Structures are given as structure tokens and as C-alpha cells.
């Protein structure tokens, strides 16, 4: 399973890239707004640090506008993927962009049938939002499970990005059902490294090692 970082915050992206756990990055208008920076410059900076797919979202309401924004963002770097909100308008933009060999990521997907429609439109990536589904009392991961089954039934090649991840259990569940990609907020990514027994173990090894140095002195 690949780990994408769900953030537009450069310090976290640089840190994850240094640790080797930034296979890609996903952003959205909310995450970008937090950075208070020029969007194209920020996308360029992310792409200079991460070699994998970097999703940048269009905000226009019409097909022509989405395609225009998509082309402009895609011209920033070869690994830019255009994030397009699901819908009748969005899927038309996806078809147009993919015809031009510009990769797309259909976002705000909340059902397996929306995912099927996005895959049929030729999307390269599909992002079901599991945390937001859990928030309203649905089982988000079921959408991922059913989407993976449907895509495999019809040999559709869109890759599922498990998105709206809120905690490490979401990551575990995604891995157990074989999701190809999970996009995680930095706060969740860093938690995956933590285990009290690992920390206690390191402290014990250190203490025993300095004890030995003392003895040999
Ligand atoms: O990439 C967008 C998605 O992951 C949003 O997550 O936490 O705002 O539901 P959240």
C-alpha cells in the first residue's frame, strides 16, 4: 500500500519525504487555504520534493473552466494530478483531461456507484472519503471494499485512494482490504510510528549500553 500525504504544509511534506513515506501528496482547497500562499507556486514546490502523484484541485463550476484550470496546473510539473469533484460536470472534465493524457483524481466520492461512474469516465484515481462517511453513521470502509470489488469485476484500472482518514485504524483497515493507496494527514502518519513498547525498548537498550560502558571504564 502506498502512503500519500493529505496536506499542503511544506514542512510536513519535506519531513515525510526525508523519512521515505511520501509516495504522493493530495491537497484540496481547504488544505491549500490554510497555507495562505500562491497556489501554483505551492504546487511547484510540493512537486520539487515529491516524485509521485501530487493532486491539485480545480475550483471552477463548469467543464471549460475545470479543463482550463486543469491544463494550467498540469503544466507546473509532470507529476501533477488534477483533482476534480465528482458530478456530471466534473466527469465531463475528467474525460476531456484524460483524453489529453492529463491524469485526474475524482474526489468527494461517497458511494461505490459514484466510484464506478468515475472509473468509466476514465479517472486515473478515485478518492472515497471514509471519515466523512463514518461521521454520518455510515461505514466508510465498506465503500472502499465494494469499490475495489466493482473495479476488479470490470477490469477498470482507476486506482483507489482511501481519503478522509482520521486515525491509524483507518489505515490498518485499508491495508487489510488491499487498498492500493491511503492518503493520510501528517498527524495520523506520525502516529503510525509510535508504540510505547518501541520507545520503552529503545530506552532500555540505551540504559543497558551505558551501564556496560560504565562497567568497562
Ligand atoms: O483529501 C481530502 C480528504 O482527505 C479530506 O479529509 O478530514 O477533511 O474529511 P477530511
Domains, the chain: 2-216 (3.20.20.70)
- Provide residues with CB under 6 Å of ligand 1: 6, 26, 28, 129, 131-132, 163-164, 183
Tell me the average pLDDT of the chain. 98
pLDDT, tens only, 8-54: 999 999 999 999 999 999 999 999 999 999 999 999 999 999 999 99
Q: How many residues does the chain have?
A: 217
Angle at 54 between CA 43 and CA 56, to 5 degrees: 60
Mean pLDDT in residue range 128-155: 98
Q: Is 202 exposed, middle or buried (0-12, 13-18, 19+ CB in 10 A)?
A: exposed
The reported pLDDT for the residue numbered 196 is 96
Query: How far is 216 from 198, CA to CA, in rounded Å?
Result: 27
Q: What's the chain's Rg over C-alpha atoms?
A: 20
Mean pLDDT in residue range 173-194: 98
The reported pLDDT for the residue numbered 31 is 98
The reported pLDDT for the residue numbered 176 is 98
Pocket test for ligand 1, best of 9, 108, 132 (most atoms within 8 A of CB): 132
Pocket test for ligand 1, best of 28, 31, 83 (most atoms within 8 A of CB): 28
The reported pLDDT for the residue numbered 154 is 97
Amino acid at each position: 500500500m502506498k502512503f500519500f500525504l493529505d496536506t499542503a504544509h511544506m514542512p510536513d511534506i519535506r519531513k515525510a519525504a526525508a523519512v521515505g513515506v511520501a509516495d504522493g501528496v493530495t491537497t484540496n482547497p481547504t488544505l491549500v487555504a490554510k497555507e495562505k500562499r500562491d497556489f501554483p507556486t505551492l504546487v511547484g514546490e510540493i512537486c520539487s520534493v515529491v516524485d509521485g502523484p501530487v493532486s491539485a484541485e480545480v475550483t471552477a463550476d463548469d467543464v471549460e473552466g475545470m479543463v482550463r484550470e486543469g491544463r494550467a496546473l498540469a503544466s507546473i510539473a509532470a507529476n501533477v494530478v488534477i483533482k476534480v469533484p465528482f458530478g456530471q460536470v466534473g466527469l465531463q472534465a475528467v474525460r476531456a483531461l484524460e483524453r489529453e493524457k492529463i491524469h485526474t483524481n475524482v474526489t468527494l466520492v461517497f458511494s461505490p456507484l459514484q466510484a464506478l461512474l468515475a472509473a468509466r469516465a476514465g479517472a486515473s484515481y478515485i478518492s472515497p472519503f471514509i471519515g466523512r462517511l463514518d461521521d454520518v453513521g455510515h461505514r466508510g470502509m465498506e465503500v472502499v471494499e465494494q469499490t475495489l470489488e466493482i473495479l476488479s469485476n470490470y477490469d477498470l484500472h482507476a486506482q483507489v485512494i482511501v481519503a478522509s482518514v482520521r486515525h491509524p485504524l483507518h489505515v490498518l483497515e485499508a491495508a487489510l482490504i488491499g487498498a492500493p493507496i491511503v492518503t493520510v494527514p501528517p498527524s495520523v502518519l506520525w502516529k503510525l510510528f509510535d508504540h510505547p513498547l518501541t520507545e520503552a525498548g529503545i530506552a532500555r537498550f540505551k540504559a543497558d549500553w551505558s551501564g556496560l560502558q560504565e562497567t568497562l571504564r
